Each structure stands twice: as structure tokens, then as C-alpha cells.
Chain A
């Protein structure tokens, strides 16, 4: 089955701890994205990567970090510097190649800071 997976589905973290959210895709897509969604709101772009070993900040990158060492993987680390990390995190991928086309989303990870 081709698709994009995120793990875990639910994640609890204590204040002051860093936590890494996993995102893997087997669609052979070049581009990958991380979004944050708060209740009743749209998706806000955190980071995106057009190609391996390259990524750009989105609109709300502060307190987050990413890496793109493999085409299939784009993990997101929520650091202790993120002031309000409780949210629903969505990873997406697209074919890329210089244009932004259809995005395929994972099932999301709901992060709760205790």
C-alpha cells in the first residue's frame, strides 16, 4: 500500500521536553511538509522540504526543527522553545519538481503537553 504514515497517533509530553514526530512516505515524492492545526483553525505551515538535505521555514517555524536525510522521511522535533505545542500535527507530501500539486496527508499526530 502506498501512502504516508505518521506515528504516534497520540503523544503526551511534559513541559520542557523535546519530542520528535515521525513522518514516512513510500510514494516516491520529492516534497514533504509539516503543518500544525489548532481547534477550529486551518493548517499553518511549519517547515517544508523540496528535496533531500534541503528544507525551508514556513510561517510558524519558531520552536521546531526538521531534518531530511532520506527521501522517505521528514521527522519534526518540537522543542521546549515552542511556547504552545499542544496541537494536531499533519505531515504531507507531493511530487514536487518545482510545482506544488496535490498534497497527500498522513493521519496526523495529536500532541498534548501536560
Chain B
């Protein structure tokens, strides 16, 4: 069956460190993968998109990698700040079904301690 897996346990790190979040998928052939941030009680906000033929994308303190062999994307926040505390969701669009919609993982909650 198709799955998108993100670590359900919260990630707690110290301010200034690099946070690394993982998104694994099985039985998908993603055309591209996106990362979103969601704060409690609010809608997700788009952060980054990476295509299947790209290895890495950066935006300010954010970096995303995409390994289609490992079927994994890593999301890094460098020099993390307490304001980065939120839930981070990965989402992909698959080529398999032709469905023009995102499929989301369950998200990983990040807590940055001051």
C-alpha cells in the first residue's frame, strides 16, 4: 500500500542547532514533494518545493533534499529559533494515478528550546 511517513514523535532541539525532519514514502512515484509549516489551529503555509530531478533546494535557513532511490526527503532548519516551533508536513504529487492533488504525511512537531 502507499504510505507517506513522518516521525510522529516530537523533535526537541536547542536554539541554534540544526533541526532535521524526515519524510519517507513507499509505493509512490512522486513528481515533486513539498514541505509546509502548520501552527496550532491554523492552515498550513507552503515552505519549499523540490522536483524529482532535483537533489537539493535552499531558501534562507531552510534546506530540502530529495533522494528518489531511498524514497526519502530531508528537511533542515539551520540556526533554529523558538519561532520555528511548529508542525512540519511533507506532501507529494504522484505520477501513478494522474491525480492532481497533494497527499500529505501526518507531520512532525518541532519544539525549539531557548
Contact = CB atoms under 8 A, between A and B. Distances in A.
B48 to A, nearest CB: 10
B101 A105 contact: no
A11 interface: no
25 contacts: A31-B100, A33-B101, A41-B106, A42-B6, A42-B104, A42-B105, A43-B44, A44-B104, A45-B101, A50-B100, A90-B43, A90-B44, A98-B100, A100-B93, A100-B100, A100-B101, A102-B34, A102-B46, A102-B49, A103-B34, A103-B36, A103-B44, A103-B102, A105-B43, A110-B41
Interface residues of B, number: 24
Interface of A: 31, 33, 35, 40-45, 48, 50, 56, 58, 88, 90, 92, 96, 98-108, 110
Contacts of A31: 100
Contacts, number: 58
Contact of B46 (A33, A44, A104): A104
Interface string B75-114: 0000000000000010101000001111111110000000
Contacts of B41: 88, 108, 110
Nearest to A4: B43
A6 to B, nearest CB: 8
Which of B42, B49, B105 has the most CB atoms of chain A within a 10 A radius of its CB?
A: B42
